[in-house]
Amino acid sequence: MTPATRAIVVNTPHNPTGRVLSRDEMAAIARLCVENDVVAISDEVYEEIYFEGEHLHLATFPGMAERTVTLSSVGKTYSLTGWKVGWAIAPPELTHGIRSAHQYLTFTTPTPVQHGAVGALGAPADYYSELRASYVRRRDLVVDGLTGAGFEVRPPQGTYFVMADYRELADLDDRAFALQLIHEAGVAAVPPSAFYHDPGSAQGLLRFAFCKEPAVLEEAVERLQRYLT
């Protein structure tokens, strides 16, 4: 942070890396925000999809309720991505700015979709534990499969993405290797350089999603293993 810093974005669980920030890390971020009078925009759309540690709301740390904008949605937790229904929670002086901008970003959210989102939010407690357990199984399937295909993989602590290092497999940039796998192996991955301020920092990495049925994931890793090994 510098004297020019007015706001920061915090994303945990993190896309694309799958990192879940610890309590000590979150406390350090909160302390810096308070000391420097900085607003935090906390992207928590994967708040229920974590496999290690715990999800911590930045707004609950000392001094942060009055300076945090918490963002989330029904898209990830309830597999309703196309509905584009979410929320922003913040003190009145910050939500005023959000509402002023929002009216120029979208015209309306369909009423039936809003009612559906309310229904989703009423899910029982065991829905969330079962959701995490199902994603752990999918994560392990993909991590093991990618490792068997020759990728170096660090299992994600949250989200439904795996970042895989392919530098032992190809000397291509991430976009070129992603296209090669689509055309020659029939498997799609996302080149993560689009997420980076410096795209070169992501070279040698691909992002794979495991928010699919196990049979689809099994077929994907089999195709990769046949092509790469």
For 168-221, what is the HEC assignment?
A: CCCCCCHHHHHHHHHHHHCCCCECHHHHCCCHHHHCCEEEEECCCCHHHHHHHH
In this prediction, residue 183 carries a pLDDT of: 98
Q: What is the mean pLDDT of residues 23-34?
A: 98
Shortest CA distance to 145 belongs to which of 94, 218, 89, 46? 218
In this prediction, residue 209 carries a pLDDT of: 98
pLDDT 10s digits, 87-100:
999 999 999 999 99
In this structure, CATH architecture of domain 7-121: 3-Layer(aba) Sandwich (3.40)
Residue 103 has pLDDT above 90, yes or no: no
Q: Which residues contact 161 (CB under 8 A, 6 or more apart)?
A: 15, 16, 17, 18, 207, 208, 209, 210
pLDDT 10s digits, 122-135:
999 999 999 999 99
Contact 159, 20 (CB under 8 A): no
- Helices 214-228, 125-148: axis angle to 10 degrees equals 10
Q: What is the mean pLDDT of residues 73-79?
A: 95
Contact 108, 88 (CB under 8 A): no
In this prediction, residue 221 carries a pLDDT of: 98
**At residue 5, what is the residue type?**
T
pLDDT 10s digits, 136-182:
999 999 999 999 999 999 999 999 999 999 999 999 999 999 999 99
Give phi and psi for 85, each to the nearest 5. Answer: -115, 125
Give phi and psi for 213, each to the nearest 5. Answer: -65, 145
Residue boundaries of the structural domains of the chain = 7-121, 126-228
Give this prediction's pTM.
0.92
- % of residues, the chain, pLDDT over 90: 89
Residue 121 has pLDDT above 90, yes or no: yes
Decide: helix, strand or coil at residue 162.
Answer: strand
Task: Give the CATH number of domain 126-228.
Answer: 3.90.1150.10
In this prediction, residue 107 carries a pLDDT of: 80
User: Whole-angstrom Cα distance, residue 149 to residue 184?
Assistant: 15
